Structure 1
Amino acid sequence: METIYDFAVRFWGIWLMIVFVGIVAWAYWPGRKGEMEERGKIPFREDDGPNGAGNGVGHGH
């Protein structure tokens, strides 16, 4: 067990970099562009729900 711990401690920076690069590659993958653009527009959509545009909540009224 100590051998696994020593290995993990020695290479934690490399593991962290691999995870970071993997997340960035996943986010910027060309096939995900449409999905990411759609998710980026979520804050600007008009809500039609109970707290949405119909009652003026959150729209500065």
Structure 2
Amino acid sequence: MTLQSLGEFLGSLWTVWALIVFAGIAFWAWRPRNKKRFEKDAQIPLKDDDR
């Protein structure tokens, strides 16, 4: 195995790893269980702070 072929293999592995991480984050974000939390967090900038 040459250094060039090793680099190509690692580049392909990195692409697969990035896709798996992206799919995991997307799955976590779209779970119905997280909907209330995200709606609550979305209101934070709109809250008035009377200090």
- The reply to whether TM is greater than 0.5 is yes
- How does the TM-score come out when normalised to structure 2? 0.71
Query: Percent identity of the aligned residues?
Result: 39
RMSD value over aligned CA atoms?
A: 1.5
Structure 1 ranges of 4+ moved more than 4 A: none
Q: Give the unaligned 5+ runs of structure 1.
A: 1-5, 50-61
What secondary structure is seen at the aligned counterpart in 1 of 2:22? helix
Q: Give the unaligned 5+ runs of structure 2.
A: 1-5
Aligned residues: 44
Query: What is residue 56 of structure 1 aligned with on the other side?
Result: none
The structure richer in helix per residue is 2
